[in-house]
Structure 1
Amino acid sequence: MSVITEYDSLLLDLDGTVYEGGRAINHAVSSINSSGLPVMYVTNNASRAPEMVAAQLREIGLTETSKSDVMTSAQAACLMAADHIPAGSKVYVLGTDSFRDLAREAGFKVVASADDSPVAVLHGHNPETGWAQLSEAVLSINAGAQYFASNLDSTLPMERGKHIGNGSMVAAVSHATGVTPLSAGKPGPAMFHAAATTLSSSKPLAVGDRLDTDIAGGNAAGMDTFQVLTGVSGYFDLLRAIPAERPTFIAASLQDLTKTPDELRAGAQGGFKALIDGSVLTLSGGTPTSSPIEALRTALEVAWASDMEVSHVDPEGPEAIRVLKSWW
């Protein structure tokens, strides 16, 4: 029985999970298309409108995707702002034109300057954001505007590697104002609950590549979580994950949705054994056909049961040495 038979929907992250820099990640499209489950794409990327995200997904082979299948953190930020400021309020949007359009659709009046006395700043990712736009946000907040962020991701995975994320830009504004924004995106649970409600899903599976946003957010929403090793968080990140960021299932990619739940949980696999002494974890055993992720799941059961963070992994034997090379 595969893991997807245990759930009635998939809440999928995008960057690092489904695609990277617009390029489909191996096995992602075929795995989603064959899952047979309703899907909502829940993304912290606020730079593109839902219809643009849906179009991109159709281009990579997810042909049945529409804008109603996408929930961005920009949408979530507009919903959050609506809970704190009256309809028709002036807002300064630090983000893309699509974020401004969403703010208008939410009933706000979008202004272009701090001189227009906005009552709130909505901050989302935009590759074109520079000093002038950040300064307008700072001036608005210092004049009393409330501060809302679509998300606080420090990095954004792209084809060339990790680029600056919205959280790093937010940090500049916070440093200049002393104000920490309310964040609408992951790791908060709001987007996950809204996505599940939209799908009328009672048992969704939250899927992502990043422990501190996708997995922490799904866990916070009380959902089972499925970590893929195709994006930001890697083997050693999982070993050192705090309890709030530990996934239910650990997978190499979305292709592992066809595996059984027991195969994907932390526990001894592939003939490996793990022991921990202080902060040093020793990995041994294995066979020539054992995989790096089987070794990881074996190590995770021991590491997560320990009171100490793993500082070093010591491989014993040829198979442990072989798989450990793939962890870097």
Structure 2
Amino acid sequence: MTNNNVTQYSGYLFDLDGTVYSGKESIQEAISFINALKEKGITYGFITNNSSATREKVAEKLRKMGVEASAGQVFTSALTTAALVKEENISRVYPIGEGGLLGALKQEGIEVTDQQPEAVVVGIDREFSYEKLRISSQALHEGAAYFATNGDKNVPAEHGLQPGNGSIVAAVSAAGGKEPVFVGKPEAHIVNEALERLELDKENVLLIGDNYDTDILAGIHASIDTLLVHTGVTQPHELKQKSKQPTYTAMSLLEWENKLRECR
């Protein structure tokens, strides 16, 4: 553990991919830990850079894995991005993305168009094509604003790492000659939204994730405590190279639960 003075927290925020599940496979130690929080009446929520699914779909996936979860506990980069675009008074965008992003934009009353959009918004898109690259880069060259739900170059899946949204963003940025405003982790936007909606005091909240460069940095940027679990992206030898360390580390949430028991 990075810090031996383990604290009992009144609220938890969980990353999903690599922390609670890997692709379609659940991480059982995490499932058990979350359900124990439910039994104790401790508040928890989920923050994900995955922009492809709606919060309802994410909650449904968690329930199928045995986790008590509602849509109101789920915070996605798509929803946070759409809200930020609206705050910027942008009403017409060209999106690269899937149902989660398209639904979030619609929910905010933002028009989706490929004709003179005011902004390009990029989320994960498993049907990304040259034509989408052409339209988005042309819009950027013509002065459109540029937002990305997140910069994850790879995401963990049941068969290893697969390309993430950052890979698509890299292509659009190269073709369009512009860098985006990133909204999801490691930025603090999504963490702050979750804290506000769940009515959590940041001094008593622990953010748990597997990816130092997204999850842990998001917690650091939001000034809350963090726990890095080595069940996904960042491994122990990689963590040693980081200048700012998480509050705690553990090989799994089972190890973390055992440490909590020792401190009771």
TM-score, normalised by the number of residues in structure 2: 0.92
Q: Give 3-state SS (helix, strand or coil) of 1:233's partner.
A: coil
CA contact (8 A) 1:186 1:217 kept: yes
Give the aligned partner of residue 49 of structure 1: 54
Residues of 2 paired with 1:70 and 1:57: CA distance? Answer: 10
Give the aligned partner of residue 323 of structure 1: none
1:67 to 66, 71, 74: 71
Deviation at 1:98, TM superposition (A): 2.7
Relative contact order (C-alpha < 8 Å, sep 6+): which is higher?
2
- Structure 2 letter corresponding to 1:216: L
Give the aligned partner of residue 77 of structure 1: 81
Deviation at 1:263, TM superposition (A): 8.2
Deviation at 1:142, TM superposition (A): 1.4
Deviation at 1:97, TM superposition (A): 2.5
Give the aligned partner of residue 31 of structure 1: 33
Give the aligned partner of residue 224 of structure 1: 225
Residues of 2 paired with 1:95 and 1:132: CA distance? Answer: 14
Residues of 1 paired with 2:246 and 2:12: CA distance? Answer: 15
Residues of 2 paired with 1:158 and 1:263: CA distance? Answer: 33
The answer as to 2:240 corresponding to 1:239 is yes
Give the aligned partner of residue 145 of structure 2: 146
CA contact (8 A) 2:30 2:253 kept: yes
Task: Note the residue ranges of structure 1 that are not aligned, 5 or more in a row.
Answer: 265-328
Deviation at 1:161, TM superposition (A): 1.0
Residues of 2 paired with 1:192 and 1:7: CA distance? Answer: 16
Give the aligned partner of residue 304 of structure 1: none
Q: Give 3-state SS (helix, strand or coil) of 1:247's partner.
A: coil
Deviation at 1:100, TM superposition (A): 1.1
Residues of 2 paired with 1:6 and 1:137: CA distance? Answer: 47
Change (3 A) 1:83 1:155: same
Give the aligned partner of residue 104 of structure 1: 106
Give the aligned partner of residue 296 of structure 1: none
Give the aligned partner of residue 211 of structure 2: 210
- Structure 2 letter corresponding to 1:131: Y
CA contact (8 A) 1:249 1:261 kept: no
> Superposition pairs for residues 1-328 of structure 1, below 5 Å?
3=6, 6-35=8-37, 36=40, 37-62=42-67, 64-86=68-90, 89-111=91-113, 113=114, 116-202=115-201, 203-243=204-244, 246-260=245-259
CA contact (8 A) 2:136 2:176 kept: no
Aligned length: 255
Q: Rg: which structure is higher?
A: 1
- How big is the alpha-carbon RMSD for the aligned residues of Structure 1 and Structure 2? 2.0
Residues of 2 paired with 1:47 and 1:84: CA distance? Answer: 23
- Structure 1 letter corresponding to 2:221: A
Residues of 2 paired with 1:84 and 1:123: CA distance? Answer: 16
- Structure 1 letter corresponding to 2:15: D
Residues of 1 paired with 2:260 and 2:63: CA distance? Answer: 29
Residues of 1 paired with 2:69 and 2:85: CA distance? Answer: 28
CA contact (8 A) 2:78 2:149 kept: yes
Residues of 1 paired with 2:95 and 2:262: CA distance? Answer: 45
Query: Once superposed, which parts of structure 1, at least 4 consecutive aligned residues long, lie more than 4 Å away?
Result: 261-264
Deviation at 1:250, TM superposition (A): 0.6
TM-score, normalised by the number of residues in structure 1: 0.74
Residues of 1 paired with 2:243 and 2:163: CA distance? Answer: 24
Percent sequence identity over aligned pairs: 37
Residues of 2 paired with 1:155 and 1:165: CA distance? Answer: 4
CA contact (8 A) 1:31 1:257 kept: no
